[in-house]
């Protein structure tokens, strides 16, 4: 396994749209393991998307189980994820491994229903809420070339410099 290099803003590759995964093979599963390890190597990493490491395929990993008082499905490796329903709106603070110096307040759906494939190609369905739903939406944005910076209502009011820079 390997910790992969993270692309950081304003790298133009972060704006690239990712294509669907077509081959569910051992190479994909090895990549998903590297992606998960890369997420865990970051400070407070709760999610990661393949484009953040320069692979432009629709793959995300989300794991919010380390956060207390948060509903969680554990570690979810989601291939070709789609949101099929959503409910409610909430504002919450987000960070991103590709935007290490800032956090921001972002409006997201409070709960989402999610369809995806696992790394073996089996169909998955999840109902996510709260912080897990937020993390899924954040990571799926990376697949469409969007960062949380693109979702701020106001950079002046909703963008915050991190007090402690952790590398």
Name the residue with the smallest CB distance to Zn ion.
Answer: 96
Phi, psi of 86 (to 5 degrees): -150, 160
Segment interacting with Zn ion, rule: CB under 5 A, options 29-37, 69-77, 95-103, 118-126? 95-103
Cβ distance to Zn ion smaller for residue 25 or 67: 67
Residues 95 and 101: their CA atoms lie apart, in Å, by 9
Q: Which of 57, 94, 132, 139 is catalytic?
A: 139
* Total residues in contact with Zn ion, by rule CB under 5 A: 1
b/e map 58-74, b = 16+ CB within 10 Å: bbbbbbbeeeeeeebbe
Segment interacting with Zn ion, rule: CB under 5 A, options 93-101, 103-111, 127-135, 152-160? 93-101
| Placement of tokens 């081959």 in the chain | 23
CB of 149 to Zn ion, least distance (A): 10
* Token code pair at residue 149: 């910076």
Q: Does the annotation count 87 as an active-site position?
A: no
Cβ distance to Zn ion smaller for residue 52 or 80: 52
Could you tell me which of 145, 37, 153, 137 has the C-alpha nearest to residue 87?
Answer: 137
Segment interacting with Zn ion, rule: CB under 5 A, options 24-32, 72-80, 92-100, 103-111? 92-100
Cβ distance to Zn ion smaller for residue 21 or 96: 96
Our finding on whether 96 is near Zn ion (CB under 5 A) is yes
Contact 145, 58 (CB under 8 A): no
Cβ distance to Zn ion smaller for residue 47 or 119: 47
CA distances from 154 to 142, 148, 157 (A): 20, 12, 5
Phi, psi of 125 (to 5 degrees): -140, 130
CB of 141 to Zn ion, least distance (A): 7
Interacting residue ranges for Zn ion, rule: CB under 5 A? 96
Hey, which residues are catalytic here? 139
């Amino acid at each position: 396994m390997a910790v992969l290099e993270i692309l950081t803003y304003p790298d133009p590759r972060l704006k690239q749209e990712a294509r669907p995964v077509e081959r569910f093979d051992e190479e994909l599963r090895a990549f998903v393991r590297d992606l998960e390890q890369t997420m865990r190597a970051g400070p407070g990493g709760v999610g990661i998307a393949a484009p953040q490491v320069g692979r432009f395929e629709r793959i995300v990993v989300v794991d919010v189980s380390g956060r207390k008082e948060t509903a969680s499905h554990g570690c979810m490796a989601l291939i070709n994820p789609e949101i099929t329903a959503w409910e409610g709106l909430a504002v919450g603070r987000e960070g991103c491994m590709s935007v290490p110096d800032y956090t921001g307040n972002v409006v997201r759906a409070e709960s989402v229903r999610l369809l995806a494939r696992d790394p073996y190609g089996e169909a998955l369905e999840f109902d996510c809420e709260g912080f897990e739903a937020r993390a899924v939406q954040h990571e799926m944005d990376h697949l469409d070339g969007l960062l949380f910076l693109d979702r701020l209502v106001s950079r002046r009011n909703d963008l915050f410099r991190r007090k402690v820079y952790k590398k």
